Every structure is written in C-alpha cells, then in structure tokens.
Structure 1
C-alpha cells in the first residue's frame, strides 16, 4: 500500500460548547491550523505516472480551504456541530471523499503538539 500526505494551513477562530464554564476553549480564541490529507492506493492502482495522486491536483482543496475556513469564525462555518478539531476532520473528509476517492485519513492540528485524525 502506498500513502501520500499533503499539508495545508489556515487561521481561524472558534468557541467550543459543552465544556465547563472555566474551560479555556469556551472563550473565543483562534488557532493556526494544519490540515493533512492522506491518500492511499495499492501498487496496481497507481496512475500511469506512478502516483497515488498528482500533488498538483490538491489546488482545488487549497482554494476551498482559503475560501471557506481561512480567517473565518468556525462556529459560523460548521453550524451543525461543535467546531472541534475532530469535527473539522470528519467535515473535511465528508466534503472531499467524492473528489478524492483515495482519501483514507484527514488530520487536523490546532497546535504544534496536538492532532485529531479521522480515518473511516
């Protein structure tokens, strides 16, 4: 199995619900997010060029991130769920699995030391 990964960056704010009143994430705050897409394919599924997917084909995803989440308040974007890193990862997966059928994982980082990963 081959796996490729590509990282993307954006900045956004959010406030998390369903936490104790004194929890720091209840307050409005922001992060410099890192999103990592992982795509996988078997050796017989590679493109004629020998790729799982051409990295140049991620331009649409980068444009989508820039338009929909960069410098936005995520509570206004993910209106049907708490905008946690976990929910953001599954939301991205659900929005992009049709365009990238090889998508096997989405990772979201809010800080350099923390990651949430959705793997269906």
Structure 2
C-alpha cells in the first residue's frame, strides 16, 4: 500500500461550553491547528502518484475560507467541536472529493493529535 500525507494549518477559536465550570476547555480559547490528510492506494496512477499533491488545493481553500481565524462553534453550528470531531469532519469532506483518503489527523497542540480512520 502506498501512502502520502499533506499538512494544512489554520488558527481558530472554540469553546466546549458543555464541560463543567472550571474546565479550561469550557472557556473561550484558540489553537493553531494542524490538519494532516492521508491518502492511500495499492497501485500508483500513470504519473507514479497516489494522487498529485496539487489536487489537494481545494482542501486548502476550504480550510482558509471557512475555518482560518473563525470561531469553530459558529462555523460548524454546535458546541462540541473537538479535535476528534474535526478529524471526522475533514475526513468526510475529503473522502467525497478524494476517494483515496484513508485518514485525517488533527492537532491542537504540538503534543496532541486526534485521528479518524475508518
């Protein structure tokens, strides 16, 4: 199996208001997110790629236009916008457009990652 990944970055705020008072994530706060998309294929295309990295440009536009410097609760319409939830959201978005999508990872901090891989 061949696998490729590409990283995308954005900054945004969110609030997990359903958490108990005193929980740091219940307060309005922000992160410098990293989204890592993985694509996989058992065979390479005629150009020798799983997929040309340039073909991931629509994801960059989607992230830049819809997520960067925004409040994620407003963008996504709910109050449980976690890294796990974002990983699934970006996976579903990518899978519709890039059938080779095999996983998406999201980081909120340099030491933490959440992944969605069916």
Q: How does the TM-score come out when normalised to structure 2?
A: 0.96
**Deviation at 1:118?**
0.2
**Deviation at 1:3?**
0.5
1:79 counterpart residue number: 77
Distance in structure 2 (CA, Å) of the matches to 1:64 and 1:19 = 29
**Deviation at 1:71?**
0.3
Give the match's secondary structure for 1:49. coil
1:29 counterpart residue number: 29
Change (3 A) 1:81 1:21: closer
What is the RMSD computed on CA atoms of the aligned residues? Answer: 1.0
Give the match's secondary structure for 2:56. helix
Q: Deviations over 1:35-65 (max 9, x none)?
A: 00000000xx311011001011111110110
**Deviation at 1:17?**
3.0
Q: Please say if residues 13 and 29 of structure 2, whose CA atoms lie closer than 8 Å, have aligned partners that are also in contact.
A: yes
1:4 counterpart residue number: 4
Counterpart selection for 2:54 from 39, 53, 56: 56
Aligned residue pairs: how many?
118
Q: How does the TM-score come out when normalised to structure 1?
A: 0.94
Q: Which runs of 5+ in 1 are unaligned?
A: none
Higher helix share: 2
Q: Please say if residues 81 and 87 of structure 1, whose CA atoms lie closer than 8 Å, have aligned partners that are also in contact.
A: no
Distance in structure 1 (CA, Å) of the matches to 2:94 and 2:79 = 18
Q: Which runs of 5+ in 2 are unaligned?
A: none
Counterpart selection for 1:93 from 91, 94, 104: 91
Counterpart selection for 1:107 from 105, 108, 111: 105
